Chain A
Amino acid sequence: GAVVSQHPSWVICKSGTSVKIECRSLDFQATTMFWYRQFPKQSLMLMATSNEGSKATYEQGVEKDKFLINHASLTLSTLTVTSAHPEDSSFYICSASVQSHRGKVGYTFGSGTRLTVV
């Protein structure tokens, strides 16, 4: 099945530094990758939609200059949290849509990155 590899799985960084999270589609080409943020005991909130070769589309309220998204190839999308602050501590998850031969559509998710900013 379709697999998305995400790393690092967890990272602790100092306030003011930047952190890069990578997501790779291993056995398929992901023209579109979605980036989510999830706070404890809450649902997934879409941050941005990353399209290969073009600028990402950010959801309302998400700072594009703070959360830099790059999707330079069909198998790699990155999210960089710049000048991280403690309130950016969260679980970040990437995903890509996949469609089966029966036409069913679902998401395949990366394993997630737990970011802690101290």
Chain B
Amino acid sequence: GQSLEQPSEVTAVEGAIVQINCTYQTSGFYGLSWYQQHDGGAPTFLSYNALDGLEETGRFSSFLSRSDSYGYLLLQELQMKDSASYFCAVRDRGYGQNFVFGPGTRLSVLP
């Protein structure tokens, strides 16, 4: 089976940097994705890592270590609009094209 763990809540102030960790267990790993979801909205795709290392997209970066079954999402220069839930999702070879989602991390950005 698959399981993912994320912190349930993270709080930071505007302008700060925050890291949201994700550890996973899968039977066959393809890749790790991150999604942002604002209250009442649908998830939006942020990043996908299939290989070890850091991927940077603007203020957001995502890191993967396959040997450690671990990844993180790094958000820099936090803005109030970044307050949302963030989900990591694993693409598991045994699960076809589908992703299995983590429980989500609620990020609150304070002024």
Contacts and interface: CB of A to CB of B under 8 A. Distances in A.
B33 A107 contact: yes
Given A107-B35, A112-B41, A49 B103 contact: no
A46 B89 CA distance: 12
Give the size range of B's interface with the partner.
20 to 34
A112 B98 contact: no
B7 to A, nearest CB: 14
B47 to A, nearest CB: 8
Contacts of B102: 43
Interface in A22-50: 32, 34, 42-46, 49
Contacts of B40: 114
A105 B45 CA distance: 10
Interface string A80-100: 000000000000010101000
A112 B33 contact: no
A42 B39 CA distance: 11
A49 B99 CA distance: 11
Contacts of B35: 107
A70 interface: no
Interface string B35-66: 10000111111001010000000000000000
Interface string B16-39: 000000000000001101010000
B48 A104 contact: yes
A106 B49 CA distance: 10
13 contacts: A44-B87, A46-B98, A46-B100, A49-B96, A104-B48, A105-B30, A105-B33, A105-B97, A106-B33, A106-B45, A107-B33, A107-B99, A110-B42
